[in-house]
Amino acid sequence: MNITLQVWRQPGPDADGGFRTYQVDDISEDMSFLEMLDVLNERLIAQGEEPIAFDHDCREGICGSCGVVINGIPHGPEKATATCQLHMRKFRDGATIVVEPWRATAFPVIRDLVVDRSAFDRIIEAGGYISVDTGSAPEANLTLVPKIVADTAFDAAACIGCGACVAACPNGAANLFTAAKIAHLNLLPQGQTERWSRTERMVEVMEEYFGSCTNHAECEAACPKSISIDFIAMMNADYARAKVKNRRLAAQR
Tell me, what's the pLDDT at 252? 67
Domains of the chain listed by start with CATH number: 3-111 (3.10.20.30), 117-252 (1.10.1060.10)
Which residue ranges in the chain fall short of pLDDT 70?
A: 132-134, 138, 140, 249-253
Tell me, what's the pLDDT at 42? 98
Tell me, what's the pLDDT at 253? 60
Tell me, what's the pLDDT at 53? 98
**Rounded distance, CA 98 to CA 21, Å?**
9
Tell me, what's the pLDDT at 141? 74
Tell me, what's the pLDDT at 246? 73
Quick one: CA dihedral 118, 119, 120, 121, positive or negative?
Answer: positive
pLDDT in tens, 173-190: 999 999 999 999 999 988
**Rounded distance, CA 126 to CA 199, Å?**
9
**Rounded distance, CA 176 to CA 166, Å?**
8
Q: Going by DSSP bridges, is the β-strand pair 69-70/96-100 parallel, antiparallel, or unpaired?
A: antiparallel
pLDDT in tens, 19-39: 999 999 999 999 999 999 999
**How many Cβ atoms are within 10 Å of 63's Cβ, its own excluded?**
17
